[in-house]
Amino acid sequence: MNNEKLKTKYPSLFDLELHKSCSVSSRIVNIGNFWEWKSCPLVAGLSAELDRLKQEIALCQLQPGHDKWTCLLTPEGSFTVEEIRRRLDKVALHSPSLPLISWCNDIPIKVLCFVWRAAQGCIPSDIALQSRGMDIDSTLCGTCIGEVECADHILMRCSYTKLIMNKIFEWCGLNKEEFNNVCELLHFAASWGRCPKKRIKLLCICYSLLWNLWRIRNDILFRGASTTICRGIENIKALAYLWLKFRGNGRVAWYYELGMEINSKNSGSD
């Protein structure tokens, strides 16, 4: 009642209620047989609580029809995925340990979902597969053999990853940054700068970075095909450029100029 459960408002009386799942209407309509207690609340010293409950229930106006659920997130009382996502993003914005996904249309949904799972360690890295009971010979990273292969190691901490990331940041004219996990990169990119258009370009580059690093890792593991650092960097730039050109609304320079646009002073109005 009034968006609050009676069982949490009157816990002692709820303990004494014989039919825990009874409806409020069954206690109002059947006046002659109003309550069914396991033992008398008055004996248990709950007379004041019982009086408050009676007063509250007396004010209740029942409408004909079935009970229905109302979502408190929206004024209309209807549940929408968009609203719940907005609420979660709001919480994530102030919590660095939660993934702050930028759900922009420029980035394909499969990449957004991959990054969302990666930020929570839910991509099939060696350590994730082992924790699900798969027999893995070694969980050490196949590239640097320096740490167990978890999502954050593949996408943030591996020496190969760091080399590529430093080059990409250099290309964008940004200072070298040390990210310990994917969430930190997502928070950095989602709150970077003051120009939304430039921020979207940086987001595309960062998401392209994560997506390509995962593909490079899989190519090595499943096809035995290694990718040079130069080739990896070019693929990241090209993919971000293609997303912005064919999926975004803003004007985009040729892809090798994209990085320069990120931190330049005169391209904020495009």
Residue 118 in the binding site for Zn ion (CB under 5 A): no
**Backbone φ and ψ of 37, nearest 5°:** -100, 155
CA–CA dist 40, 12 (Å, integer): 12
216/262 with CB nearer Zn ion: 216
- Tokens, residue 142: 């196949």
Measured from the CB atom, is 49 or 147 closer to Zn ion? 147
Identify the residue among 46, 50, 111, 141 touching Zn ion (CB under 5 A).
141
Query: Residue 138 Cβ, how far from Zn ion at the closest point, in Å?
Result: 12
* 225 to 254: interface string for Zn ion, x by CB under 5 A: ------------------------------
Measured distance CA(216)–CA(159) in Å, rounded:
14
Taking CB under 5 A as the rule, does residue 143 contact Zn ion? Answer: yes
Q: Which stretch binds Zn ion (CB under 5 A): 9-17, 48-56, 122-130, 136-144?
A: 136-144
Give the residue with the Cβ less far from Zn ion, 141 or 204.
141
d(CA 161, CA 152): 10
Distances from the Cα of 158 to the Cα of 15, 61, 62, 149, 207, angstroms:
56, 64, 63, 9, 17
Binding to Zn ion by residue 144, rule CB under 5 A? yes
Dihedral sign for Cα atoms in the order 18, 20, 21, 25: positive
Asked whether the CA dihedral 184, 181, 221, 227 is positive or negative, the reply is positive
- Beta-ladder partners of 37: 17
Tell me how far, at minimum, the Cβ of 72 lies from Zn ion, in Å.
46
Q: Which is nearer to Zn ion, 161 or 208 (CB)?
A: 161
In whole angstroms, how close is the CB of 251 to Zn ion at the nearest point? Answer: 38
Candidates 91, 108, 111, 109; CA nearest to 99 is 91
* Minimum separation from the CB atom of position 92 to Zn ion (A): 27
Number of residues this chain uses to bind Zn ion (CB under 5 A): 4
Is the distance from CB of 237 to CB of 205 less than 8 angstroms? yes
Contacts of Zn ion in 85-104 (CB under 5 A):
none
Q: What backbone phi and psi angles, to 5 degrees, belong to 177? A: -120, 145
Asked if residue 127 binds Zn ion (CB under 5 A), the reply is no
Region near Zn ion per CB under 5 A, out of 10-18, 28-36, 156-164, 172-180: 156-164
Q: Taking the complex as a whole, how short is the minimal distance between the CB of residue 159 and Zn ion, in angstroms?
A: 6
Site residues (vs Zn ion, CB under 5 A)? 141, 143-144, 158
